[in-house]
Structure formats: C-alpha cells, structure tokens
Amino acid sequence: MPNVIVVGAQWGDEGKGKIVDFLTEKADVVARYQGGHNAGHTVVINDEKFILHLIPSGILHKGKMCLIGNGVVVDPAALIEEIKGLEERGVEVGKNLFLSKNAHLIMPYHMAIDRESDRFKGTKRIGTTGRGIGPTYVDKMARIGIRVVDLLQPEVFREKLKVTLLDINFLLENLYRIPRFDIEDIYSKYMGYAEKLSEYIADTDIIINSMISENRNVLFEGAQGTLLDVDHGTYPYVTSSNATAGGACTGLGIGPTKISKVLGVVKAYTTRVGSGPFPTEIKDSLGDKLRERGGEYGATTGRPRRCGWLDTVILRHSARINGLTGIAITKLDVLDGLEKIKICTSYKYKGKIYEEFPKEINILEECESGYEEVDGWSGSTIGIREFKRLPETAKAYIKRIEEILGVEVQLISTGQRRDELIQIKEQF
C-alpha cells in the first residue's frame, strides 16, 4: 500500500486541506508532521466550512486514525479548543486522535517573546502570527523545551518550568520591559490541560510504523509550504520548521524508505502572506481582484494575502527539493475570465538571467520576473469534474506547467467544495 506525503509547493495556503480531505477517503491514517496552530487548513463540506489548525484534516472522515507527530509544536489550549469546536459540530474526536509524547509544548512566554522580538525588528520584521511557534522551536533546538510527555509527570514539568523561567523572566523584564511569568499560574493551567489531553497522548512513532507494516494507506499532511521551509525557503522570511517532504520522516519517526509518493499542491497562481520577497507579485487592481475572487485571507489570522502570477522558478526548486511524483493544481477557477495569463520562467538581476531559485535574498527582493504569456479562457471551470470538459486554453495552461516542471498534474481543484475536483491519477 502506498504512503503519500502532501506538501505545499509554494509559500503555503495552496489548498492542502481540501486535497488531504479528498485523499483521506482511501487513507487509513492521516498524520501531521510539523508546524503549529499558525497553520490553517480549510475544508468545505456541503457548504459548511471547517478550519483546522492542529488536527489533521482526516478527522472529518469517520473511521480514520489521525496523528499529531513529534515535529509539531502544540499549544494545549488551542488544541483543546479545536477538539471542543469539532465536537460541538458533530465531529467525533476520541480514540481516533493521537498526540505524540515527543511534541514540544508552546508556553505562554513563547508567545510573548514571539510578539516582542518581531516588534523589535522594526522594518525588518518577519510578520509572524505571534503564536509562539518560532520561540518554541528555538527552545527545542537549544534542548530546553518542555514536551507533551512532561504533562504526564507533574514534578518533572514543574522542575523544567522552574529552571526555564529563571532565564525567560530575566529576558522579558530587562530586554523587552514586560512583566515576568508566575510559575504557579502556568503550572496550574498546564496541569489542567494535561487532564483534558491525557487520553490522546501516545507513542505515535510506534503507531504509525505499525500501520505501515500492516500495509495500511498512510497520508502525511504538512503545513505551510516549501518556500517557508527553514532550510530551503526564502530565509529569514520562513517558518521555523521543515515544511518540505523530508520533514515527514523526522516529524513522525519513519524512515525515508517507507515513502511511496510525494504530491505537491500548487495554486494556479501564487500568493504569500506577511513579509518577504515575492518576485511575481501583482501590485495593481488585478492583484486585488485575485485576492477577492480567491478569498485570499489567512484561515488563521485573516491577514490579506499578496497575490501574483504563477512562478515556475520556485516550483522547479520545490519539485527538486521534495522529489515530487505528482502535482495537484488548486483554485484554477479563480483565473476564469482572464484574457491573458502570465507564467514566470526566470528572474533577471543586474543583467544576469536566473532560471533556478537563487539563495541570495537580495536577488529575490530586487530581481525582475521573466514571463511567457498564454491565452486565458472565458468560460467557467467551477465544479468541472472531468479534464476533457475544461476549456482548451485551460488544458493548455495545465500542460504547459507540466512541461516546465517535468512533473505530472494528477489532481485539479475547480472550486471550494469537496467534490469540485478532477482526478487524473489516483494516489492510493
């Protein structure tokens, strides 16, 4: 049975939630491998919208096992609220959800540091969500983090918290000039969280490897996108984890030999939220039109996304870094009615042409995009479920993307609803 990674191929917000939701029909296990509740996956079922932040999209299907891996950083209050919200809407959350013992906890001081440190950067601020994701990963790498398993051992949790707060409170008071945190207040809150979450905490690495050994269909769900990967993205304007396919192995505790396919999700145009270089950004009324038609506002923060033309320079990089075996194109319908559509195939900086993704941030910030122009289509693609029914120029656009990237387009989303999708090739 194949094990499939679904990964964002741009700057996140590509529509991975819908793709994962569709593929879950034939999956037995859906596992999230990195990021935190700064991510937001939107799924529309019978005109009802579900926005998930930590729990895998597979939770919306009965009988599916859902795992939150060790590579995820978890705000326990946010997870409890998400579980409560789903249950209130009739979604079963119980023995179908497992939370890794080794996942790191987002603490209140992480959120404070996140907000204050970004504020200190002024015009060079990264534009984080302020939810403590980055500082939690910092503590993880500094080997001073507090993990989910520590919630099950109150005295261990208290001692770790006591030691950590000595440094944290000094930093908060003397650098950021904000009040210190009280150990008893945090301890009391987190022990309350422990009581509510204990039934979900498990050795998820053992569970998922067992499922693979039993030849179950396993779907790996990433958050954010390749260009936000801390190693392979537009650093420093990135997230703090490995959002690429390799993160699935480290973030869940499985070997790379267990991966069968890597499906890259690609929006039919390009967006990014927050600060950072964006070579194909459209800064006129057309960019505003795409934003409104595509509903390009953050599922987590509501922040407006910057919109631009499809960038195949970053997509070639993404295909290579992730080892993509297939592509899912989303939001094709947003381009309906455009007379001409541009595809970026290169960058130009100080007279030099770049056809591959440059690592220098100043080149990405100052380059000019080289475009080829293709015909758009006048008809609506919303709700089309067969490739042959697409307008000829829409088919040509898809084929041109395949030619440039050397990767097959295997799924095409033609609307928000779960069933508005063209399946060209099955993943399972």
**Residues involved in catalysis:** 13, 41
Pairing between β-strand 65-68 and β-strand 29-32 as defined by DSSP bridges? parallel
Between CA 298 and CA 305, with CA 59 as vertex, the angle to 5 degrees is 10
In whole angstroms, what is the distance from residue 305 CA to residue 298 CA? 7
For residue 354, report the phi and psi dihedrals to the nearest 5 degrees.
-115, 115
Q: Which two tokens stand for residue 240?
A: 């703090």
In whole angstroms, what is the distance from residue 13 CA to residue 326 CA? 18
Taking residue 58's Cβ as centre, other Cβ atoms within 10 Å add up to 27
Q: Which residues of 93-122 are buried (b: 16+ CB within 10 A; e: fewer)?
A: beebbbbbbbbbbbbbbbbbbbbbbbeeee
In whole angstroms, what is the distance from residue 204 CA to residue 113 CA? 30
Q: Classify residue 9 as exposed, middle or buried by CB count within 10 Å of its CB (0-12, 13-18, 19+).
A: buried
Residue 219, amino acid? L
- 96 touches 64 (CB < 8 A): yes
Taking residue 339's Cβ as centre, other Cβ atoms within 10 Å add up to 8
Q: Classify residue 2 as exposed, middle or buried by CB count within 10 Å of its CB (0-12, 13-18, 19+).
A: middle
In whole angstroms, what is the distance from residue 49 CA to residue 131 CA? 23
